[in-house]
């Protein structure tokens, strides 16, 4: 008997029964083909989530009106019957595992992808861009509005013909229907603008057209931003009024939040609690008495069960959570919560890759989102010993992967704990989710009988030789970059001193308790420096950040950058860009900007100039490898200080090293 009865309780809507309450919501992938078709890799991506037990999978937003309605670097299309065969293949595959399958039909409006518009001006309710600095759209004519309504109906027919179990209409997140609903974008004075009823008119027409097309028993889902969390936009009370005019034919209400301006509240930033916006879905559910879907960093099954038990929602949407852990449902059902590979809400491979970098979707904690555990089916073909030096996330992934394909694996970690930098950074309150990754990796490692772990053990070539390695993975991590700046090495991280590195903060974080009126100066405007700023600014300190480059957070992911800009503004953080550190003193920094020397006094100063590889034994290892015909591979931060994502992928790539030495086909 499961500890979570509400999660696994079936629910019937119209004539469709959902086997459990876990939903994979639509989330763009950049996996579609350039012409909008559904390639095999893309279908396999969804298939893994269906195989993992998910109750309903909603295929990411598909274009109903090309090119005006298109969105994303690549996007699925459903504006022509020629796309039906691809969707049929997908629904057939997902249905094998008992998942219900929905699809989100959408028109991007002013959020249309410029690269496919061919010079055409995007369309919207009015001439307001959908994001700051976006292309100015032209207002749709009434005839064009009614033509788009017809296109929604045509798309719904194709959805039904392709074998889907439900259809979702997107009216949130700064897309076209949201551009009519929200006063942020809708400045019209005709029957499609002004009052709540008028702004809701196009959504009402769309839902009615879809209902007329699919008939009375086919579930229609309406997704919307229940609170846009921005001045001048819709708030919960506004949306509750708007829904009175347009929700009648909808069967399930998918309650989301936010718009393009505050994307970090739509694609939730790391420090937001599990299910933080479930109060929105409860308000909608209480008023309209219809099943609702809620989302928002839901990772913990206990919190998921609580939301359902309290009547805050009927379904739980886990987008990034199911990218990270396709088997979330099956593992929870089997009592394997300790083996959940939880999303850490870093928003790098899933959101930043797709939105800011035009890359296909990836995941920091899941090195293979397409094939999942398929690599385990091919075991090594001869006895193979793998030694891993370093027990951070990259080393742990390498060790686990090697053991899972049959290698006798030995992991050595110099510290008395595993997890490396991830374990350290997670001690910052706003970064606590990161701890879920090393915790999962350690649980996974300790479940493998052929993986031996030695902590508090320094491994040099003489030591590892007795383990007769065929492969040695060096994953010794990184340490703070401390250039030869006057005074830096003399003052940093000294006992009772006031100059600290990031580790100086983390190691004594409980001692930083008196924040009011404290002057904090942070040198370095990268990710680590901004983490320090966030910690102190939120607690009432007076914070200054200094960066040599013209901008802060140059290499931050898109979501974190938006969130951090909001934090800097909200807490009035003094920003000094184009400013270089010249000297470190006991109670002040000397910096130089525009040729002028400036002193910045502080109660606590932090030097966060990035990280550098820490691999003091690598050259000796390489010599050992040549002498003894052992494959030596350097991975993770010990190769180059980067994000967790790269190290995790390189850890999984031990599979290719095993192929290289002939131990695995």
For 643, the token pair is: 């994000």
DSSP readout, 592-649? EETTEEEEEE-SEEEE---EEE--TTHHHHHHHHHHHT-EEEE-GGGTS---HHHHHH
Secondary structure letter of residue 434 according to DSSP: G
For 481, the token pair is: 């970059």
For 432, the token pair is: 């606590």
Position 516 scores a pLDDT of 87
User: Can you give the C-alpha Rg of the chain in angstroms?
Assistant: 27
Report the catalytic residues: 175
**Among 597, 200, 255, residue whose Cα is nearest residue 589:** 597
Query: In which element (H, E) is residue 167 found?
Result: strand 166-171
Position 139 scores a pLDDT of 98
Position 513 scores a pLDDT of 86
> Backbone phi, then psi, for 235, in 5-degree steps?
-115, 180
**Among 606, 589, 603, 586, residue whose Cα is nearest residue 542:** 603
For 187, the token pair is: 């400045």
> Backbone phi, then psi, for 339, in 5-degree steps?
-105, 10
What are the residue ranges of helices labelled H in 313-369? 319-324, 328-333, 353-355
pTM: 0.96
| Average pLDDT along the chain, 665 residues, taken 10 residues at a time | 90 97 97 96 98 98 97 96 98 98 98 94 98 95 98 98 98 98 98 98 98 98 98 98 98 98 95 97 98 98 98 98 98 97 97 94 98 97 98 98 98 97 95 97 98 96 96 96 95 94 93 90 96 96 97 92 94 97 97 95 96 94 96 97 96 98 95
């Amino acid at each position: 008997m499961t500890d979570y009865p509400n999660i696994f309780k079936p629910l019937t809507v119209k004539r469709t029964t959902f086997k459990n309450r876990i939903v994979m919501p639509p989330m763009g992938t950049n996996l579609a083909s350039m012409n909008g078709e559904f390639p095999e890799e893309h279908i396999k991506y969804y298939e893994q989530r269906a195989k993992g037990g998910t109750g309903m999978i909603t295929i990411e937003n598909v274009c109903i009106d090309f090119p005006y309605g298109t969105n994303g670097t690549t996007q699925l299309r459903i504006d022509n019957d020629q796309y039906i065969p691809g969707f049929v293949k997908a629904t057939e595959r997902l249905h094998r595992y008992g998942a219900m399958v929905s699809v989100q039909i959408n028109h991007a409006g002013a959020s249309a992808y410029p690269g496919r518009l061919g010079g055409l001006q995007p369309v919207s309710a009015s001439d307001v861009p959908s994001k700051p600095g976006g292309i100015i759209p032209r207002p749709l004519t009434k005839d064009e509005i009614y033509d788009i309504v017809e296109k929604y109906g045509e798309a719904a027919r194709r959805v039904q013909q392709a074998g889907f179990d439900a259809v979702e209409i997107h009216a949130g997140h700064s897309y076209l229907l949201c551009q009519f609903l929200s006063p942020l974008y809708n400045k019209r004075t005709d029957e499609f603008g002004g009052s709540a009823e008028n702004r809701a008119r196009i959504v009402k027409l769309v839902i009615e057209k879809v209902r007329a097309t699919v008939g009375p028993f086919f579930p229609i889902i309406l997704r919307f931003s229940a609170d846009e969390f921005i001045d001048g936009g819709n708030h919960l009370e506004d949306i509750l009024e708007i829904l009175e005019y347009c929700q009648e034919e909808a069967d399930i209400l998918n309650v989301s939040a936010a718009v393009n301006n505050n994307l970090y509240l739509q694609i939730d930033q790391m420090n937001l609690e599990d299910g933080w916006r479930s109060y929105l879905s409860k308000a909608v559910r209480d008023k309209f008495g219809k099943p609702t879907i809620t989302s928002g960093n839901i990772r913990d099954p206990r919190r998921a069960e609580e939301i359902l038990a309290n009547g805050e929602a009927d379904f739980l949407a886990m987008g990034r959570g199911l990218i990270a852990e396709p088997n979330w449902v099956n593992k929870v059902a089997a009592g394997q919560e300790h083996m959940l590979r939880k999303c850490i809400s870093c928003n790098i491979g899933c959101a930043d890759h797709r939105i800011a970098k035009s890359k296909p979707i990836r995941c920091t904690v899941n090195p293979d989102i397409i094939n999942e555990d398929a690599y385990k089916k091919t075991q090594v073909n001869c006895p193979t010993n793998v030694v891993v030096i370093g027990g951070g996330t990259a080393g742990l992934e390498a060790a686990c992967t090697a053991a899972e394909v049959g290698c006798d694996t030995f992991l050595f970690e110099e510290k008395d704990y595993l997890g490396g930098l991830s374990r350290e950074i997670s001690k910052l309150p706003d970064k606590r989710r990161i701890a879920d990754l090393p915790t999962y990796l350690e649980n996974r490692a300790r479940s493998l009988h052929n993986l031996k772990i030695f902590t508090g053990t320094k491994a040099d070539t003489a030591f590892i030789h007795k383990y007769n390695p065929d492969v040695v993975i060096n994953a010794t991590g990184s340490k703070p970059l401390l250039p030869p700046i006057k005074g830096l090495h003399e003052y940093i991280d000294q006992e009772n001193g006031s100059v600290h590195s990031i580790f100086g903060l983390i190691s004594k974080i409980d001692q930083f308790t008196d924040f009011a009126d404290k002057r904090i100066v942070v040198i370095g405007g990268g990710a680590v420096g901004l983490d320090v700023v966030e910690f102190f600014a939120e607690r009432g300190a007076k914070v200054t950040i200094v960066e040599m480059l013209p901008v802060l957070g140059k290499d931050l992911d898109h979501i974190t950058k938006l969130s951090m800009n909001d934090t800097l503004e909200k807490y009035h953080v003094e920003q000094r860009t184009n400013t270089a550190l010249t000297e470190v003193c006991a109670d002040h920094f000397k910096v130089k900007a525009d040729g002028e020397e400036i002193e910045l006094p502080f109660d606590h100063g932090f030097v966060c100039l990035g990280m550098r590889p820490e691999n003091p034994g690598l050259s000796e290892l390489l010599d050992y490898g040549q002498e003894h015909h052992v494959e030596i591979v350097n991975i993770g931060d010990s190769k180059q200080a980067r994000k967790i994502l790269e190290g995790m992928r390189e850890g999984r790539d031990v599979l290719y090293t095993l192929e290289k030495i002939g131990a695995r086909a």
